[in-house]
């Protein structure tokens, strides 16, 4: 009981502190309206006991969403906005998770969008948040909802000037690391990007 009270006393101010730190981290991320760069995805498949590497590019627009373009080894793209997630596969096969059609899609899109955008309220609503300072701030997001835990157990962001990497641990023992490199910070999106991120 004493241990529980002690941890409660320690935890309460810390959670407030993390909330402030989280806001600082996302304020830094959103200082760049657009971040563009290269993406490396390393995906560990437990049943194969090996990692699959894919490469491509990314565009993050703090208030609009994210575009991931995978070019190697198999092309695909994923556009995440607050309302929907649009995945394009070869042969122009488009899988749209449109929030206007289904609330579950909307919720998932909103949560993923919040990881990359300055939407701290959505993060706090859906995750237990902890922030660790250091050369890079490390933000750990643990889903509160068991339904979300079925998609991912934990999301960890490493943030310097902007998001440097995101790692996602999935329930079945698989994990994915997204590394963002060669970043540039243009002032605005291209017309094509703007259209793709329009809801």
Interface contacts to another protein, rule CB under 8 A:
39, 41, 43, 45-48, 50, 52, 54, 68, 70, 73-78, 80, 85, 87, 89-91, 93, 95, 97, 101-108, 112, 125, 144-147, 149-151, 172-174, 176, 178
Q: Quick one: 21 or 29, whose CB is closer to another protein?
A: 29
Q: Quick one: 25 or 155, whose CB is closer to another protein?
A: 155
Q: Please, what is the minimum distance in Å from the beta carbon of residue 75 to another protein?
A: 6
CA 49 from chain centre, in angstroms, equals 25
* Interatomic CA distance for residues 71 and 68, integer angstroms: 10
Q: Quick one: 22 or 79, whose CB is closer to another protein?
A: 79
Q: Please, what is the minimum distance in Å from the beta carbon of residue 40 to another protein?
A: 10
Q: Please, what is the minimum distance in Å from the beta carbon of residue 149 to another protein?
A: 8
Handedness of CA 50, 56, 62, 63 (dihedral sign): negative
- Comparing CA positions, the residue from 87, 82, 45 lying closest to residue 70 is 87
List Cα–Cα distances, 61 to 46, 65, 113, 144, in angstroms.
33, 5, 10, 26
Q: Quick one: 21 or 119, whose CB is closer to another protein?
A: 119
* Interatomic CA distance for residues 128 and 132, integer angstroms: 14
Please answer whether residues 170 and 152 qualify as being in contact, where contact means their C-beta atoms are separated by less than 8 angstroms: yes
- Comparing CA positions, the residue from 141, 184, 136 lying closest to residue 25 is 136
Q: Please, what is the minimum distance in Å from the beta carbon of residue 31 to another protein?
A: 24
Q: Quick one: 22 or 176, whose CB is closer to another protein?
A: 176
Q: Please, what is the minimum distance in Å from the beta carbon of residue 41 to another protein?
A: 6
Please answer whether residues 187 and 33 qualify as being in contact, where contact means their C-beta atoms are separated by less than 8 angstroms: yes
């Amino acid at each position: 009981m004493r241990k529980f009270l002690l941890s409660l006393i320690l935890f309460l101010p810390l959670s407030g502190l993390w909330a402030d730190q989280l806001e600082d981290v996302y304020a830094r991320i959103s200082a760049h309206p657009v971040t563009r760069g290269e993406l490396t995805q390393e995906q560990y498949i437990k049943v194969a006991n090996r990692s699959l590497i894919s490469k491509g590019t990314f565009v993050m627009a703090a208030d609009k969403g994210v575009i991931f373009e995978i070019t190697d080894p198999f092309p695909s793209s994923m556009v995440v906005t607050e309302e929907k997630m649009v995945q394009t596969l070869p042969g122009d096969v488009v899988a749209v998770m449109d929030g206007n059609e289904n609330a579950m899609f909307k919720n998932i899109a909103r949560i993923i969008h919040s990881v990359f955008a300055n939407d701290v309220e959505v993060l706090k609503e859906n995750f237990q948040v902890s922030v660790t300072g250091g050369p890079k701030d490390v933000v750990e997001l643990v889903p509160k909802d068991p339904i979300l835990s079925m998609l991912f157990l934990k999301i960890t962001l490493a943030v310097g000037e902007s998001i440097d990497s995101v790692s996602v641990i999935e329930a079945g023992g698989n994990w994915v690391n997204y590394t963002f490199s060669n970043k540039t910070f243009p002032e605005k999106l291209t017309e094509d990007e703007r259209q793709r991120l329009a809801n």
